Structure 1
Amino acid sequence: MNSQYMRVEIFAFETCILKNFWEERIQKQTEERENETARKQRSALQRLRNEWAERLNKKMEVPKTQNNS
């Protein structure tokens, strides 16, 4: 039997399995990415970083105003 004459139904079946496999993987990764984004939004870390940045900025501004006086 010539190898270039592959049965179309077998090829289509294997393609369907591969397509489903990758669609499931993509769906899981999308859900994980969305969950991670939601977790980061709920996290207090960004708020705390902003508060510390404000505190540092205020500390840096105080010596400048004292030197100008």
Structure 2
Amino acid sequence: MLQTIEVEIDANGQVHPLELRDRLPMGRALLTLLNEPMETTLLAEAALSEDWLKPEEDEAWSDLQPDKL
């Protein structure tokens, strides 16, 4: 099962999980680096949602709606 956890990477390159239950399980993982701060993304969401919530957008993407697949 795939699982996503939020981590911080310190100046030495050490990975620190933000919600550590016990410790990370042994194994392999993929790490996605976010190039911009999360706050920027959250602030942009409000501005973009004005366009996302237009009826024209729903129509443009209607063929990808679950009931159409």
TM-score by length of 1: 0.25
* Higher relative contact order structure (alpha carbons within 8 Å, sequence separation ≥ 6): 2
Greater fraction of residues in helix: 1
Greater fraction of residues in strand: 2
Q: Flag the structure with larger Rg.
A: 1
TM-score by length of 2: 0.25
